Amino acid sequence: HHLERSYEFPDFAEALAFVNAIGEIAEEQGHHPDIHLSWGRVGVEIWTHKIDGLTESDFVLAAKFDRAYDR
């Protein structure tokens, strides 16, 4: 009942830039995922906390993150 994805990057700086980019998207949407940052990798876990499950807005947010990654 969660969406999870790991995004790969060549270094820490690019991973951090992605975290900042998706953080802005999350703020705009008013929907906040769990974000895990490590060297060259960003893990994202999305779900609607209120129902402890998935809603359409979770899939919309995930698609926006994917578009931000596919630059």
Please list the pLDDT of the chain residue by residue as tens digits (71 residues).
899 999 999 999 999 999 999 999 999 999 999 999 999 999 999 999 889 899 999 999 999 999 999 86
Question: Which residues neighbour 37 within 8 Å (Cβ) at sequence distance 6 or greater?
Answer: 15, 16, 19
> Do the Cβ atoms of 16 and 36 come closer than 8 Å?
no
Give the per-residue pLDDT at 71: 65
Global confidence as pTM: 0.92
